[in-house]
Amino acid sequence: ETGVTQTPRHLVMGMTNKKSLKCEQHLGHNAMYWYKQSAKKPLELMFVYSLEERVENNSVPSRFSPECPNSSHLFLHLHTLQPEDSALYLCASSQDHPGTEAFFGQGTRLTVV
């Protein structure tokens, strides 16, 4: 248990569905992240959030939209996804920017059919 909780653990959705991934941390961290992990590829940084700002990877399609309502919660809203979006989506948090250890959630295994 890392202190970062992701739900759901598994998700199967059609290309026309809308779903949301949830991440929660109670470690008192200031920064939260979404990563995508596909087979045989590096962990891909999608979004970085703090209370003051959001930083995004410009290569992430607009069908992924993050939301960070407070310092403890992070969502990833999904709509009209493609089969190639099937992957493990990992949430992480750290104190301030990543000059300190990032703690990862267990991930959501997403399958788009």
Partner 1 sequence: GQNIDQPTEMTATEGAIVQINCTYQTSGFNGLFWYQQHAGEAPTFLSYNVLDGLEEKGRFSSFLSRSKGYSYLLLKELQMKDSASYLCAVTTRADRGSTLGRLYFGRGTQLTVWP
What are residue 83's phi and psi, to 5 degrees?
A: -55, -30
Residue whose CB is less far from partner 1, 20 or 30: 30
What the block records as the tokens of 56 is 């995004």
Using CB under 8 A, pick the residue from 19, 24, 43, 79 that binds partner 1.
43
Q: Strand 10-13 vs strand 108-112: parallel, antiparallel, or unpaired?
A: parallel
Taking residues 45 to 84 in sequence order and writing x for each that binds partner 1 by CB under 8 A, - otherwise, the string is x--x-x-xx-x-----------------------------
Residues 35/106, Cβ–Cβ less than 8 Å: no
Residue pointed to by tokens 């998700």: 11
**Site membership for partner 1, residue 101 (CB under 8 A):** yes
What is the layout of strands, in order, in the sheet containing 4-7? 4-7, 18-25, 73-79, 64-70
**Site membership for partner 1, residue 97 (CB under 8 A):** yes
**Site of interaction with partner 1 (CB under 8 A):** 2, 4, 31, 33, 35, 40-43, 45, 48, 50, 52-53, 55, 90, 92, 94, 96-107
